[in-house]
Structure 1
Amino acid sequence: MELASGPAALALMALGALVIGYSKTALGGLAVVAVAIFATVMPAKESTAAILTILIVGDVIACWHYRRDPDWSLIRRLLPAVVPGLLLGTLFLGAIDDEALRRSIGAVLLVLLLLQLGVRWRSGDAPSTVHRHPAAAWAAGSGMGFTTMTANAAGAVMTLYLSAAGIDKRRFVGTSAWFFLIVNLAKVPFSVGLGLLHADDVVRALVLSPAVLVGGLLGYATVRLISQRTFDVAVLLASAFAAGALLVG
């Protein structure tokens, strides 16, 4: 595998790593910006593995910050359903070419953005109990498995599910952090089996880990300082830009 090179590419990847750290300790939907950045500086398929190693660094940082906050009952409800989505996503990655994958990532992000907008539009309503139904957990878990394997973009699906659960902000972020640490570690053998994950990706993640840490600290501070609604609007705007860039790029 040939590493993306040049000061501009390195600067963009550092920015992507900063965004990943920020999203992991604040709101996962923002990670779609990093997905778009990495898919523009290197081949789309290779970018999924490159981002995976950096996501795991961000997961570890987020889990440390929110080590007392996860809702393990929600995590246990979702994890079994992730497996079919991971398998389907692996087959999809093995069958699709690079350009089609890039546009597929953009389409996935756009659909998830529209779903997030729908949730925000209904945010004045009382939280529903739909998340407790086994069918909802299996649909959300399978959707997260597929979108995380193909586009590293399952944060938006998790947002939908946890928004329906109506849990508080710290439990929201803590549950996402621990869930995705488990899922992203489970994705490693799939990425290796597809020939996408290499030692270079691990080295790159280590080099970029200071940027992930800085982003994580900024995100943790943001959760404490600004309102959820203000931050959500910024994330949705960033998601729209990322999806559009991939679709037309």
Structure 2
Amino acid sequence: MNTMTLWHITPAEFAVLAFAALLVGFSKTAVSGANTVSLAIFAAVLPARESTGVLLPILIVGDVLAVLTYRRHAHWPTLWRLFPAVGAGVVLGTVFLLWADDEIVRTSIGAILLLMAAVTVWRRRTAEKEEDPDEVTTRAGRAKARSYGVLGGFTTMVANAGGPVMSMYLLSAGFRKLGFLGTSAFFFLIVNVSKVPFSAGLGLIDGPSLLLDAALAVFVVPGALLGKWAVNRINQRLFEQLVIAATVVGGVQLLVR
């Protein structure tokens, strides 16, 4: 991490990062996937690779707030089904970061996000009925969980962009709003905490980055409170549309910037 980069952030740049931190809190308690916009903001203000290390502790603060808000709504069979594949994806993402430059990372993640959004829209338009989250025994269901899990682990390790991939999986599995938020809250708290040693080992988290995180973390709280207020005023159809739209926006931003 370039210490001088962190200490020479202008007031305007800090204000933009603070807004991105607030958006993280909102995404964790309202519209999961919206934090891809935060990812793009952090990468625009800070060096792209290092920005993932700065953003990770901010995401963890948001995850803790989301777990406290929706802890009763988590669907643990889905979580246990996903974790092994996600672990494999995190390892693959770590290896990828050892050699990939910023341009390759942005293009790869952006393409994956847009593909996941397209697949989810297609599935929801052609499916005759929603799947049951408890339907874990079919071969197709297990294969889908593994594929989304690996992609989610890979994208969350490489660019903290696993939210949209998991959002697409949970929507395709027929989760309703609160079950969606409760399951994703526990999922990302566990996954993001497990990523810390990998990110630190890659040099993406250090003392100066944590100081910046400490200054930004306070802005996550009002964002989470705003999300908790808003989620009760968003119907299920609009909720799903916002999640997919946030995914598309994040994917396009990664491809074009």
TM-score, normalised with respect to structure 1: 0.91
Structure 1 residues 120-159: aligned runs within 5 Å: 120-122=124-126, 125-128=128-131, 132=136, 133-159=141-167
Amino acid at match of 1:65: T
8 A Cα contact 2:117 2:168, kept in partner? no
Flag the 1:143–1:209 CA change in 2: closer, same or farther, 3 A: same
Question: Which is worse superposed, 200-209 or 126-135?
Answer: 126-135
Match of 1:9 in 2: 13
8 A Cα contact 2:124 2:172, kept in partner? no
- Rounded to whole Å, the distance in 1 between the matches of 2:219 and 2:185 is 18
Offset from partner CA, 1:107-160 (integer Å, 9 cap, x none) = 33322332343345357x421259623222222211111011112111222122
8 A Cα contact 2:156 2:162, kept in partner? yes
Flag the 1:94–1:61 CA change in 2: closer, same or farther, 3 A: same
Determine which of 54, 64, 88 is the counterpart of 1:50. Answer: 54
Question: Which is worse superposed, 109-118 or 136-145?
Answer: 109-118
- Rounded to whole Å, the distance in 1 between the matches of 2:106 and 2:229 is 33
8 A Cα contact 1:78 1:137, kept in partner? yes
Match of 2:117 in 1: 113
Q: Does 1:180 align with 2:188?
A: yes
Question: Which is worse superposed, 30-39 or 54-63?
Answer: 30-39
Flag the 1:103–1:164 CA change in 2: closer, same or farther, 3 A: closer
Runs of 5+ consecutive residues of structure 2 not aligned to the other structure = none
Offset from partner CA, 1:44-83 (integer Å, 9 cap, x none) = 1111111111100000010111122111111111111111
Offset from partner CA, 1:185-235 (integer Å, 9 cap, x none) = 000011011111112222222211221111111111111112132233344
- Rounded to whole Å, the distance in 2 between the matches of 1:117 and 1:65 is 28
Amino acid at match of 1:160: M
8 A Cα contact 1:30 1:238, kept in partner? yes
- Rounded to whole Å, the distance in 2 between the matches of 1:35 and 1:81 is 23
- Rounded to whole Å, the distance in 2 between the matches of 1:237 and 1:160 is 11
Q: By how many angstroms is 1:92 displaced?
A: 0.7
Determine which of 194, 197, 202 is the counterpart of 1:194. Answer: 202
8 A Cα contact 2:168 2:244, kept in partner? no
Determine which of 40, 45, 58 is the counterpart of 1:41. Answer: 45
- Rounded to whole Å, the distance in 2 between the matches of 1:115 and 1:204 is 37
Offset from partner CA, 1:76-97 (integer Å, 9 cap, x none) = 1111111110111001111111
Deviating beyond 6 angstroms after TM superposition, the runs of 4 or more aligned structure 1 residues are none
Q: CA RMSD in A?
A: 2.0
- Rounded to whole Å, the distance in 1 between the matches of 2:207 and 2:147 is 34
- Rounded to whole Å, the distance in 2 between the matches of 1:37 and 1:5 is 13
Flag the 1:119–1:97 CA change in 2: closer, same or farther, 3 A: same
Flag the 1:160–1:240 CA change in 2: closer, same or farther, 3 A: closer
- Rounded to whole Å, the distance in 1 between the matches of 2:171 and 2:242 is 17
Flag the 1:120–1:164 CA change in 2: closer, same or farther, 3 A: closer
- Rounded to whole Å, the distance in 2 between the matches of 1:69 and 1:38 is 31
- Number of residue pairs the alignment of both structures matches: 248
Amino acid at match of 2:212: R
Q: Percent identity?
A: 46
Q: By how many angstroms is 1:106 displaced?
A: 2.7
- Rounded to whole Å, the distance in 1 between the matches of 2:33 and 2:27 is 7
